[in-house]
Amino acid sequence: MFFKKDNQQSTIWDKIFHQSPKSGLSLSPRKYFFRDILIVLGVVLVWRGTWHLIDMYFLPDHPVWSNTIGILIGLFLLYLPTGDLTHLSGRHHDEHKHH
C-alpha cells in the first residue's frame, strides 16, 4: 500500500501520477506532454499528406515503379545526414568507425 509523506493513504490518482516511494519509478506526466502530442500529430499529418500526394502524382499508374523509386529516394535522404546508413542500426555512429 502506498502512503503519502504525512502518512495519509494515497488515492488512485496519487498512485498513477506521483513517484512511488518503494520503487522510485515515476509515472508523473511529462512536463511537455501536450507539446509532444502536438509534435506527434504534426508529424503524422505531414506524413499522411505527403503519402497521399505521392500516391496521386508520382507515377500513379505504375505503383511498383513509384514504390521502388520512393524507396531509393528515401534511402538517399537517410544517407545524407551522416554519409552512411549506420545510424539506422541503433548503434552510435562513432562505434562503427572504431570497428
pLDDT of 96 over the 70 cut? no
- Give tens-digit pLDDT for 75-94: 999 888 888 888 778 766 55
CA angle 39, 33, 27 (to 5 degrees): 140
- Give tens-digit pLDDT for 16-75: 555 555 655 555 566 778 888 899 999 999 999 999 999 999 999 999 999 999 999 999
51 domain residue, yes or no: yes
- Distances in Å between the Cα of 24 and the Cα atoms of 13, 29, 67, 73, 87 are 17, 15, 48, 46, 33
Question: Residue 36 sits in which domain range?
Answer: 12-98
Rounded-to-integer distance, Cα 78 and Cα 87, Å: 9
6 domain residue, yes or no: no
Torsion of CA 30, 32, 37, 40, to 10 degrees: -110
Give me the pLDDT at residue 1, please: 43
Give me the pLDDT at residue 76, please: 92
Counted domains in the chain: 1
4 domain residue, yes or no: no
